[in-house]
Amino acid sequence: MTAQTTTQVTRATSAHTGRGTVLVVFASLSFGTSGPLAKPAMDAGLSPLQVASVRIGLAALVLLAVVAVWRPALLRVRRADLRLLAGYGLAGVAAVQVLYFVAVSRIPIGIALLLEFTSPILVALWVRFVRRTVLPARMWVGTVLALVGLAMVAQVWAGLGTLDALGMLAGIGAALCSAAYFLIGEHGVSTLEPLGLVTWGMVVGAVAIFVVAPPWSLPFELFGAGADFGGWHAPVWLLLAACAVVSTALAYLLSISALRDLPANVVSVLALLEPVVATAMAWLLLGQALTVAQLVGAAVLLSGATVVQLASRAPVTQPDWTAISEASPHPR
């Protein structure tokens, strides 16, 4: 390989890394709006599961409408992709939301948040020991640093004395489903358009969550009620619509698109920006106070995410696919 070719490859890699990072940042900004948008709706009388049912169901309808008009070809699904779409929709859309809400109903939100966002460690372990990809040491350091920062932002020490076994199991389940979201999404975008993957995944997720929170059980009389949102008296239906479009449809699409440019272990760590965004927006819009520990934690988390992002530019030892195929009873 000539020096010129090497330079071109390096520039292309940097461009992909930069684009993927920007997509994850905007995805985190979008995901981070869900709490500030959903909390006033819940304060108005909707349960967390009802809010999840509305945001996922409405997001599915919006995506289906957009795809039907703009890219109708993406609505055609190959038989070979059905299992992937089902796994992505059930684990990455429906189960992660339901399990997280079960967790927060039984244990403090900070603990539930920390449990769910341990998914970067699970993803990294999968990449290292299942795919046999040797990751740079800096990536492990950055991941742990980001999780320490998350623990400080979530103030997990405030609820350590009120732990519940079922709540802890639900939080661990949410982490497993969150890890599956990144890994399945990374695999899915190698053969599917991100818009098609997210659309059908959202449809599958909507059907699944309607089982536990059916649309006909929603208190529609509350949709016209007003809710306080950053000093503005907004109708509940408008907040739910914004949550469905911005915090769900757009957020999922940006996050999945990033997996075309960055590996799942990097995207999962950079996605830890979401709790920081949510905490900052809750402070700005809902008047929730920030402690010094949370501010320091945000800085630590961002530092860890930066280390991971920089480490992603370094070459990694690729897995020995021949050895993996020989070891597998059903090689692909």
Per-residue pLDDT of the chain (332 residues; tens, 9 = 90+): 544 433 333 444 566 788 999 999 999 999 988 888 888 888 899 988 899 999 999 999 999 999 999 999 999 999 999 999 999 999 999 999 889 888 887 877 777 888 888 899 899 999 988 999 888 889 899 899 999 988 888 787 776 666 688 888 998 999 999 999 999 999 999 999 999 999 999 999 999 999 989 999 999 999 999 888 777 889 999 999 999 999 999 999 999 999 999 999 999 998 988 888 877 887 777 676 778 888 898 899 889 888 888 887 655 444 443 443 444 333 33
pLDDT at residue 3, rounded to an integer: 41
pLDDT at residue 160, rounded to an integer: 65
Number of Cα atoms under 13 Å in the Cβ half of residue 204 = 21
pLDDT at residue 16, rounded to an integer: 78
Angle at 280 between CA 279 and CA 285, to 5 degrees: 100
pLDDT at residue 197, rounded to an integer: 97
pLDDT at residue 15, rounded to an integer: 64
DSSP string, 170-202: HHHHHHHHHHHHHHHHHHHTTTS-HHHHHHHHH
State how far the Cα of 52 lies from the Cα of 142, in Å rounded to an integer: 32
Rounded alpha-carbon distances, angstroms, from residue 173 to 45, 178, 227, 320 = 27, 8, 32, 30
Number of Cα atoms under 13 Å in the Cβ half of residue 229 = 24
Phi-psi region for residue 155, left (φ > 0), alpha (ψ -120 to 50) or beta?
left
Report which of 317, 314, 313 is spatially closest to residue 18, judged by C-alpha positions: 313
pLDDT at residue 195, rounded to an integer: 96
**Is the sign of the CA dihedral 193, 242, 97, 18 positive or negative?**
positive
pLDDT at residue 4, rounded to an integer: 40
Identify the three-state secondary structure at position 228.
Answer: strand
pLDDT at residue 245, rounded to an integer: 96
233 beta partners: 228
